[in-house]
């Protein structure tokens, strides 16, 4: 007879071994990779990325031991596509990690500048647009035009200072990438994880 805390690990083992092999994907993060199982797209609620800047696109189950320290706001590769972790939690036993992730990020180019300074540069970025306007934005224009999440590799950032709130980006799709439209963005927040700068941006007209 299984304990309640053993049900979810047993279910995941069954999913991965025989019940849903077509739902298996390879997840990579910080030099680690392992097979995970897609289980749906239901939002995780209170565990979602603060402010709901990025809408959930997929959810997976993984062994927690395969990805120690993996949490929301981190950049991962799922099936070869870059995504942002929007929510993370473990089951009561601590064995199974439930992850929600954004839609896949698109490779784009951006004209980056810092108003009032000489900082102007072209950048290669990964970007995803929120699927709905940001109702938490205090700025009416920001709420109307929505929110973007942009990742910039640290080794592609040439300035001595990190990206800052108030910086501007003119986003353009790459020649072979049609999922991203042109957009004028202003940086609203910046965090740093796993060799990337992560920018939450508000779209401007």
For 11, half-sphere exposure in the C-beta direction (CA atoms, 13 angstrom radius) is 13
Q: What are phi and psi of 175, to 5 degrees?
A: -60, -35
C-beta neighbour count of 77 within 10 angstroms:
15
Query: With b meaning 16 or more CB within 10 Å and e meaning fewer, what string describes 92-128?
Result: eeebbbbbbbbbbbbebbbebebeeeebeeebebbbb
pLDDT of residue 137 exceeding 60? no
pLDDT of residue 97 exceeding 70? yes
The domains of the chain are located at: 4-102, 106-204
**Tens of pLDDT, residues 71-92:** 988 899 999 999 989 899 998 8
**Tens of pLDDT, residues 141-174:** 444 457 888 999 999 999 999 999 999 999 987 6
Superfamily for domain range 106-204: predicted glycosyltransferase like domains (2.40.10.220)
Q: Do domains 4-102 and 106-204 have the same CATH topology?
A: yes
The CATH number of 4-102 is which of 3.40.1350, 1.10.405, 1.10.1200, 2.40.10? 2.40.10
């Amino acid at each position: 007879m299984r304990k309640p805390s053993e049900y979810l690990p047993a279910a995941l083992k069954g999913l991965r071994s025989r019940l849903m092999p077509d739902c298996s994907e390879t997840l990579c993060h910080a030099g680690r990779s392992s097979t995970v199982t897609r289980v749906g797209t239901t939002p995780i609620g209170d565990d979602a990325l603060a402010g709901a800047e990025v809408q959930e696109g997929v959810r997976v189950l993984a062994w927690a031991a395969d990805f120690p320290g993996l949490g929301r706001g981190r950049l991962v590769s799922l099936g070869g596509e870059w995504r942002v972790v929007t929510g993370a939690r473990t089951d009561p036993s601590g064995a199974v990690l439930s992850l929600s992730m954004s839609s896949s990020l698109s490779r784009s180019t951006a004209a980056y500048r810092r108003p009032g300074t000489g900082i102007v540069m072209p950048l290669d970025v990964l970007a995803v647009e929120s699927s709905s306007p940001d109702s938490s934005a205090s700025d009416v224009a920001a709420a109307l035009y929505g929110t973007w999440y942009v990742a910039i590799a640290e080794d592609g950032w040439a300035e001595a200072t990190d990206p800052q709130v108030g910086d501007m980006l003119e986003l353009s799709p790459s020649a072979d990438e049609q999922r991203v439209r042109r957009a004028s963005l202003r940086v609203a927040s910046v965090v740093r994880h796993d060799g990337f700068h992560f920018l939450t941006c508000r779209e401007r007209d």
